[in-house]
A and B are shown apart, each in its own frame.
Chain A
Amino acid sequence: MNFFLEVLIGGLLSGVMYALVALGFVMIYKASGVFNFAQGAMVYLAALSVVGCIEQGAPLWLAIILAFIIMTLFGIATEKFVLRKLVNQPPIALFMATIGLAFFIEGIAPMVFGSDPRALELGIVDEPLPWVMDNWNMVISKFDLVAAGVAGVLVATLALFFQYTRIGRALRAVADDHQAALSIGIPLQHIWAIVWGVAGFVALVAGMMWGARNGVQFALTFTALKALPVLILGGFTSVPGAIIGGLIIGASEKLAEIYIPPVMQDLFGGNFGGIEGWFPYVLALLFLLVRPEGLFGEKHIDRV
């Protein structure tokens, strides 16, 4: 039972890390109805910006501020040079543009900051909490708890931002219908620039947490792969849904990795394992069959 709880808690805390990446997708989707293929690349760019600035002699706090400025400028540039021409185009055109953007970032970021994998020290040690280990013989990492706290604050802030600010309401209006939003005077260009800037900030937070855990390197772009099933479960338009989806995916994949292989081995022989790569996708697929809009996604109804 103790081990089960340890795996469950570890999975939930891993899920928070997935949710951090998924939040960036939600931001863009809420504002433009587009799945931003470049979100993983933005996580990479943000983390590279931080270590790049540190290598140039900036202290961590300044590097974070500079990286935020870089991500904001990137968001504004994306709106100006990529999205502005695509207003009222089908979502697939915007989606294709984000694919191009991903390749652009993956090429340009290492050219500017270098491609060597590097460490990012945030001063939070990824070690087990001694008193939890001593009293309950369970491993719970300080780093994971901090990541959970950061994610909680981020979700609360974003939820309040979308729900209670004028910009947040404008964002939702733009997501529903670009043309209608424009017709009532919502400045689409400003809104998109803001939302890409906010998505850049979310990418910065995710990039710092993932970069501190696994190093800052190209593989940060792969974090987006884990965010997909999270979004399917939580819904593409829900900020709290990203967290809940992340928790479900994190916990279920860890439990599956531990408890399914022995059963498979008993049934079929051979060596099973390494299933957490595909298990979340199967889970998401099953979920799609019963609730296509996700747990918290908006139900889309077309009147005929």
Chain B
Amino acid sequence: MNAPPLTPTAFSRPAGLPMPLARSFVTVVLSTIVLIAVCAVFAPSSLSWGALSGSLPFAAIIAIVGLGQLLVVQQGGFDLSLPGAVSLSVVVATHYPQQDDALLFQAVLVAIAFALAAGVLNGLLFSVFRLNAIIATIGTNALLYGAVFAVSGGVPSITTELLAEIAGGETFGVPNSVYFALAAMAVVSFVLKKTVVGRRYEVIGASPSAGRAAGLSVRTHQMMAYVFAQLLYCMAGILIGGITREPTAFQGDSLLLPSVAVVVLGGTSLLGGRGYPVSTVVAAFFLNQLSQFALAVGVPYSAQTIIQALALGFGIGVYSLRWTLNVRKSTG
């Protein structure tokens, strides 16, 4: 019998960093640096302060909804209710106060209440009633849009000054929305990676049956995915309400695809499991800068979309290739 050594030689090496840098993080950061270098050479205008402070708020919004989508994707889901959720919080934040600063706080509370309700609904449908995530969130999205029309009648409304100041303003020369995005990233990252709840959340996402067999409460964690995702969408919607002077009632529609794209580019598997919040946020910046670059060098809108699709395809390709190699190694 080949008795293995009792001294754990393999583990005595100093662990180095407490969390090793994920390969996806390295990939996405390197790509971003390359992109910035390319921008600096070919389209320096896209890196000018003016261009950045104009585009960064949108990168921040994509980052925030991307973090929400990330949470759902981690549980093997796919949240199609994002457009409705974002649009609803936009119209609540603008229509409810009707440019009265004093009502803004209440409007935010109302938006949060809607977000909680939508999140609980999605969560219940997914975890308790075991509906497919796509079906559940298509349904919820339609209901949310019902609410959007009930609140707004489908017409835009002018934002309140206070909200424009908070969400659209700048502090130390950096758009405030960037701080919001960074704060969201910090919180999501910390909770996922450092707390008991977050660590279990990732385990259950990677394998619900393993979680169940270990006696963890799978349903509660899956519910949380949708609730916290909705809160992030709500935050994004309110920020849009401030950044855009007269936001439409369909502000969320254009965010669904980018939200999934940044999650995927950030290296999180659509099959669920470990999530990469920091990489997701970097990917949001990358995607945004890619558009800025294309815009600066005069590429038409159509080509921009194709470039984004290629970047997405390339990203998925790179990551799936890696997974394939890993799987091949372990199964035969």
Query: Does chain A bind chain B?
Result: no
A interface residues with partner B (beta carbon < 8 Å): none
B interface residues with partner A (beta carbon < 8 Å): none
